[in-house]
Amino acid sequence: MSDDFVLDVTKIRDEARRKMEAGPVTDTYGLDKDRVIGILNDVIATEVVCWLRYTRHAISASGIDRAQVSSEFTEHAKEEMQHALRAAERVSQLGADPDFDPASLAQRAHTDYTTPPDNDLKAMLEHNLLAERIVIASYQEIIRWLGEHDPTTRRLMESILEEEEEHADDLVDLIGV
């Protein structure tokens, strides 16, 4: 096995000086930055819609198991908002403005905003589990697409994915399937 790794630090320094306005995005960035920003803005929309859905369900839930289910929904809602903020921060790092436009959130989101009857906790749990499964599958695809081309965004998405899988597991436990 040969060791053919060569690092031209002088060239890297010169390039960094010439393009300082690009911030953290260097010539070694491996993807179409605008495409990544668009995908992240869709992630923001998805997470905001999930936050809205969980928040509504937490507030409107009623019935004998309301306290436990509402508490879980509230916890998930907080984490979904954090996911949106983390994705927004990455959009900003990539040199763009995060898209929180309420007029287009629902169209850009991977999941739906649902309003089952207040007394139907099972339907709320199932709607949220379905949404988590959609998010898990779509985020896995995003992670595969990012590959080694944008390790920072990939790690962000992997971290969010890990929490989404925990949400799905929590919901399965509450449903009792």
162 is in an annotated binding site: no
Residue 53: burial class (beta carbons within 10 Å; 0-12, 13-18, 19+)? buried
In a domain? residue 107:
yes
Query: So what's the pLDDT on residue 160?
Result: 98
Over residues 15-48, the pLDDT tens digits come to 878 877 777 776 777 899 999 999 999 999 999 9
What pLDDT band is residue 177 in, cutting at 50, 70 and 90? low
76 is in an annotated binding site: no
Over residues 91-149, the pLDDT tens digits come to 999 999 999 999 999 999 999 999 999 889 999 999 999 999 999 999 999 999 999 99
In a domain? residue 122:
yes
For residue 56, the domain's CATH number is 1.20.1260.10
Q: Model-level pTM greater than 0.85?
A: yes
Query: Distance (Å, rounded) from C-alpha 110 to C-alpha 138?
Result: 8
167 is in an annotated binding site: yes
In a domain? residue 144:
yes
Q: What one-character-per-residue DSSP string does 101-169 give?
A: -HHHHHHH-SS------TT-HHHHHHHHHHHHHHHHHHHHHHHHHHTTT-HHHHHHHHHHHHHHHHHHH
166 is in an annotated binding site: no
In a domain? residue 12:
no
Domain limits for position 162? 47-175
In a domain? residue 29:
no
132 is in an annotated binding site: yes
Tally of structural domains, the chain: 1
In a domain? residue 106:
yes
Query: Distance (Å, rounded) from C-alpha 114 to C-alpha 40?
Result: 23
Residue 154: burial class (beta carbons within 10 Å; 0-12, 13-18, 19+)? middle
Query: So what's the pLDDT on residue 96?
Result: 96
Q: How many CB atoms lie within 10 A of CB 106?
A: 14
In a domain? residue 155:
yes
Query: Distance (Å, rounded) from C-alpha 128 to C-alpha 76?
Result: 10
In a domain? residue 170:
yes
